[in-house]
Amino acid sequence: MIGKVAEDLEVVKTDLNVVKSDIEVIKSDIGVIKTDLKQKVDRSEFAVLERRVLRLESKVR
């Protein structure tokens, strides 16, 4: 009985290490995604920029 519990404990420890490793990868990926999102322009900012460019182009012509 004790041997079975010890075996089960080792399996749980191994599984926990795998989960920890997966979580580290997920955290890293989330960090990359956050950085990418901060660098992107949202639609409203793009629309404002587009209007400004149109005005500048009309002045140049």
Q: What is the pLDDT of residues 27-60, one digit of tens each?
A: 999 999 999 888 887 888 889 999 999 999 998 8
Task: Count up the domains in the chain and report the number.
Answer: 1
Residue 5, pLDDT > 90, answer yes
- C-beta of residue 20 within 8 angstroms of C-beta of residue 12: no
Give residue 49's domain range.
2-60
- C-beta of residue 41 within 8 angstroms of C-beta of residue 49: yes
Q: What is the pLDDT of residue 17?
A: 96
Q: How confident is the model at residue 2 (pLDDT cuts 50, 70, 90)?
A: confident
Torsion sign across C-alpha atoms 8, 10, 13, 18: negative
